[in-house]
Amino acid sequence: MSIGIVASEFAQVAISVDTSAHDARLRLEDLRTGRVRYLDALELETIVWLREEHLRGLLDPSADRWREDDPLR
Protein backbone atom coordinates (compact mmCIF):
# COMPACT_ATOMS: atom_id res chain seq x y z
CA MET A 1 0.00 0.00 0.00
CA SER A 2 1.61 3.23 -1.14
CA ILE A 3 1.62 6.05 1.38
CA GLY A 4 3.40 8.70 -0.64
CA ILE A 5 6.67 10.52 -1.15
CA VAL A 6 8.60 12.53 1.41
CA ALA A 7 10.96 14.99 -0.25
CA SER A 8 13.28 17.86 0.51
CA GLU A 9 16.02 19.63 -1.37
CA PHE A 10 18.41 16.84 -0.26
CA ALA A 11 16.39 13.61 -0.60
CA GLN A 12 13.30 12.04 -2.08
CA VAL A 13 11.91 8.83 -0.54
CA ALA A 14 8.86 6.79 -1.52
CA ILE A 15 7.08 5.25 1.46
CA SER A 16 4.75 2.26 1.40
CA VAL A 17 3.60 -0.57 3.63
CA ASP A 18 4.76 -4.03 2.55
CA THR A 19 2.56 -6.94 3.62
CA SER A 20 4.33 -9.76 1.74
CA ALA A 21 6.33 -10.82 4.81
CA HIS A 22 4.99 -12.40 8.02
CA ASP A 23 4.21 -9.00 9.54
CA ALA A 24 3.60 -5.64 7.88
CA ARG A 25 6.70 -3.49 7.50
CA LEU A 26 7.54 -0.07 6.16
CA ARG A 27 9.19 -0.02 2.72
CA LEU A 28 11.43 2.98 2.04
CA GLU A 29 12.89 3.62 -1.42
CA ASP A 30 15.51 6.25 -2.18
CA LEU A 31 14.20 7.57 -5.49
CA ARG A 32 17.62 8.89 -6.49
CA THR A 33 19.40 5.52 -6.28
CA GLY A 34 16.60 2.97 -6.14
CA ARG A 35 17.99 1.57 -2.90
CA VAL A 36 15.27 -0.02 -0.72
CA ARG A 37 15.13 -0.60 3.04
CA TYR A 38 12.42 -2.42 5.00
CA LEU A 39 11.75 -1.49 8.63
CA ASP A 40 9.66 -3.64 10.96
CA ALA A 41 7.80 -2.42 14.05
CA LEU A 42 10.74 -3.01 16.40
CA GLU A 43 13.14 -1.08 14.16
CA LEU A 44 10.68 1.81 13.88
CA GLU A 45 10.15 1.90 17.62
CA THR A 46 13.93 1.96 18.11
CA ILE A 47 14.16 5.05 15.90
CA VAL A 48 11.42 6.75 17.92
CA TRP A 49 13.31 6.09 21.17
CA LEU A 50 16.77 7.15 19.92
CA ARG A 51 18.32 10.00 21.80
CA GLU A 52 18.76 13.10 19.66
CA GLU A 53 22.57 12.79 19.49
CA HIS A 54 22.32 9.20 18.21
CA LEU A 55 19.84 10.22 15.55
CA ARG A 56 22.09 13.09 14.45
CA GLY A 57 24.95 10.60 14.04
CA LEU A 58 22.80 8.50 11.73
CA LEU A 59 22.01 11.56 9.63
CA ASP A 60 25.67 12.35 8.90
CA PRO A 61 25.97 11.63 5.15
CA SER A 62 29.75 11.26 5.36
CA ALA A 63 29.38 8.21 7.62
CA ASP A 64 27.97 5.84 4.97
CA ARG A 65 26.60 7.80 2.07
CA TRP A 66 28.46 9.10 -0.96
CA ARG A 67 31.57 7.07 -0.11
CA GLU A 68 33.82 5.72 -2.82
CA ASP A 69 34.08 2.33 -1.06
CA ASP A 70 30.28 1.86 -0.90
CA PRO A 71 29.63 -1.64 -2.30
CA LEU A 72 26.11 -0.66 -3.36
CA ARG A 73 27.20 2.13 -5.70
The yes-or-no verdict on residue 34 having pLDDT over 60 is: yes
Confidence of residue 16 (pLDDT cuts 50, 70, 90): very high
Residue with the bigger pLDDT between 21 and 6: it is: 6
Nearest to 6 by CA among 61, 60, 56, 15: 15
pLDDT at 58: 80
The one-character DSSP state at 21 is S
pLDDT at 23: 92
- The model's pTM is 0.75
Task: Parse the chain into domains and list their residue ranges.
Answer: 2-63
Distances (CA, A) of 50 to 1, 18, 44, 47, 65: 27, 24, 10, 5, 20
Confidence of residue 71 (pLDDT cuts 50, 70, 90): low
